[in-house]
């Protein structure tokens, strides 16, 4: 296990009616910018409850943050926030809205002479950010209690991330009842995204981080256990609550501590979304199986551990590793997330060439836990997707 320092400052309020905590978290008299997406928060009860809990604050709204939030949209919120001299941000929605809230919180506080796009890709040192609170409605990304944000610039097909401790939400409200209105597609997406956040930090090589391995295996087993129920019976409160907590724990910071990490599936996936507009989890579901096959020699020991402990498979390492990849792909299909590019109308040969060009342009040319996956290797993986 490698040395590590761990600190996650986000206070989590989990469960029914925890939205009332907003009243304690946001000081009375604050000038709040409430940011959200296309209106789902008005159908799942979150909007009314947030407005009630913030009745001692002055609230300005910014709606319309789209999935895979766009720089141009977020900059409109930054302009509004500066005009209104906002001093708090509340982001209510899925990962896109919360990621958007992180960018807005950093960009409003940035010297206006600087180009805010420099925040994305960590090309500038942030001195401060406005305080941010998250109200989660879609369990998937873990964004509600991490320091990462992913922003897209559509005109140039750039989907890039930044990480900064200043944008950790001060608090996050995780009330599973807000996820009751999710369509099947987003339930499946959320489970697959959380699953692959876990594998990115776990399916590398044995590194003696025994607690982290068991955490990863517990999260994966829980998602396998409750994911299909959450899909088949959205009214099942236990399934909903455990999916929400599992997705949070997958990217809260604990699983990857002291571990080698991969993240190549995410790097390739972000390019597929930038190129073809596929949902984030769809890009991961098509990429992970061929990536595991292409890197089997390096990952075999961990894949065998995963196959035995998570899927109860038997046999020698090579056989268990192969069976584990098949079981993983089958699980994504059972969650309603197709694992072949042609299911999304994308030609694998076209995608392979374009993804390689994008990865080269973005300097993502040494991917994976060994830093040895080149854009040409990634092209072969995408061609097999």
Q: Which residues bind ligand NZQ (CB under 6 A)?
A: 37-40, 44, 67-68, 93-97, 99, 137-138, 140-143, 146, 148-150, 178-179, 181-182, 186, 189, 193, 251, 266, 280
User: Is 107 in a helix, a strand, or coil?
Assistant: helix
Q: Point out which span in 173-181, 191-199, 329-337, 356-364 binds Zn ion (CB under 5 A).
A: 191-199
Should residue 87 be labelled a site residue for Zn ion when binding is judged by CB under 5 A? no
Site string for Zn ion, 135-174 (x = CB under 5 A): ----------------------------------------
**What are the C-alpha distances in Å from 206 to residues 91, 228, 261, 289?**
38, 29, 11, 20
- Nearer to ligand NZQ among residue 37 and residue 348 (C-beta): 37
Other C-beta atoms closer than 10 Å to the C-beta of 85 total 9
- Nearer to ligand NZQ among residue 243 and residue 304 (C-beta): 243
CB 275 within 8 A of CB 355: yes
Should residue 193 be labelled a site residue for Zn ion when binding is judged by CB under 5 A? yes
Q: Name the binder of 94 from Zn ion, ligand NZQ, none, CB < 5-8 A by kind.
A: ligand NZQ
Backbone angles phi, psi at 148, to 5 degrees: -105, 155
Q: Which residue is nearest to Zn ion (CB)?
A: 193
Q: Name the binder of 242 from Zn ion, ligand NZQ, none, CB < 5-8 A by kind.
A: none
* Residue of 101, 182, 169 lying closest to 139 (CA atoms): 182
| Beta carbon of residue 266, minimum distance to ligand NZQ (angstroms, whole number) | 6
CB 49 within 8 A of CB 19: yes
Q: Name the binder of 99 from ligand NZQ, Zn ion, none, CB < 5-8 A by kind.
A: ligand NZQ
Q: Name the binder of 39 from ligand NZQ, Zn ion, none, CB < 5-8 A by kind.
A: ligand NZQ
- Nearer to ligand NZQ among residue 143 and residue 204 (C-beta): 143
Other C-beta atoms closer than 10 Å to the C-beta of 4 total 12
User: Is 291 in a helix, a strand, or coil?
Assistant: helix
Should residue 99 be labelled a site residue for Zn ion when binding is judged by CB under 5 A? no
* Residue of 209, 91, 177 lying closest to 141 (CA atoms): 91
Backbone angles phi, psi at 219, to 5 degrees: -65, -45
Q: Name the binder of 38 from ligand NZQ, Zn ion, none, CB < 5-8 A by kind.
A: ligand NZQ
* Residue of 235, 165, 230, 164 lying closest to 192 (CA atoms): 230
Other C-beta atoms closer than 10 Å to the C-beta of 1 total 12
Q: Point out which span in 106-114, 169-177, 185-193, 363-371 binds Zn ion (CB under 5 A).
A: 185-193
- Nearer to Zn ion among residue 25 and residue 193 (C-beta): 193
**What are the C-alpha distances in Å from 287 to residues 213, 260, 282, 298?**
23, 20, 9, 17
| Beta carbon of residue 162, minimum distance to Zn ion (angstroms, whole number) | 15
Q: Name the binder of 213 from Zn ion, ligand NZQ, none, CB < 5-8 A by kind.
A: none
Q: Which residue is nearest to ligand NZQ (CB)?
A: 37
- Nearer to ligand NZQ among residue 51 and residue 148 (C-beta): 148
User: Is 337 in a helix, a strand, or coil?
Assistant: coil
Other C-beta atoms closer than 10 Å to the C-beta of 208 total 10
Backbone angles phi, psi at 110, to 5 degrees: -80, 150
Angle between helices 184-200 and 280-294 (to 10 degrees): 40
- Nearer to ligand NZQ among residue 276 and residue 311 (C-beta): 276
- Nearer to ligand NZQ among residue 148 and residue 166 (C-beta): 148
Interaction site with Zn ion (CB under 5 A):
193
């Amino acid at each position: 296990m490698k040395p590590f320092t761990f600190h996650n400052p986000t206070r989590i309020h989990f469960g029914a009616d925890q939205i009332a905590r907003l009243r304690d978290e946001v000081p009375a008299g604050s000038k709040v910018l409430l940011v959200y997406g296309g209106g789902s928060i008005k159908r799942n009860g979150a909007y009314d409850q947030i407005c009630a809990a913030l009745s001692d604050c002055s609230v300005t709204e910014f709606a319309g943050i789209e999935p895979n939030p766009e720089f141009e949209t977020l900059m409109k919120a930054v302009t509004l926030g500066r005009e209104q001299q906002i001093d708090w941000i509340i982001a209510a929605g899925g990962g896109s809205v919360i990621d958007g809230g992180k960018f807005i919180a950093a960009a409003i506080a940035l010297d206006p002479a600087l180009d805010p796009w420099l925040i994305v890709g960590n090309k500038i040192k942030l001195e401060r950010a406005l305080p941010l609170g998250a109200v989660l409605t879609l369990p998937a990304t873990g964004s509600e209690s991490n320091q990462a944000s992913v922003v897209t610039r559509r005109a140039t097909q750039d989907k890039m991330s930044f990480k900064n401790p200043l944008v950790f939400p001060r608090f996050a409200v995780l009330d599973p009842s807000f996820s009751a209105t999710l369509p099947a597609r987003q339930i499946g997406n959320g489970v697959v995204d959380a699953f692959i956040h876990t594998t990115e930090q776990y399916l590398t090589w044995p590194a003696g981080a025994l607690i982290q391995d068991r955490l990863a295996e517990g999260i994966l087993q829980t998602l396998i256990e409750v994911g299909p129920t959450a899909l088949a019976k959205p009214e099942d409160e236990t399934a909903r609550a455990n999916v929400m907590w599992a997705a949070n724990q997958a990217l809260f910071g604990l699983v990857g501590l002291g571990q080698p990490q991969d993240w190549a599936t995410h790097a390739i996936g972000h390019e597929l979304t930038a190129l073809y507009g596929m949902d984030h989890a769809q890009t991961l579901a098509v990429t992970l199986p061929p990536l595991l096959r292409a890197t089997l020699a390096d990952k075999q020991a961990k894949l065998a551990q995963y196959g035995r402990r998570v899927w109860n498979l038997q046999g020698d390492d090579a056989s268990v590793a192969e069976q584990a990849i098949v079981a993983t792909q089958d699980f994504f299909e059972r969650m309603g997330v197709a694992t072949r590019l042609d299911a999304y109308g994308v030609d694998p040969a076209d995608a392979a060439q374009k993804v390689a060009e994008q990865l080269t342009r973005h300097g993502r040319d040494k991917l994976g836990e060994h830093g040895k996956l080149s854009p040409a290797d990634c092209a072969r993986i995408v061609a097999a997707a």
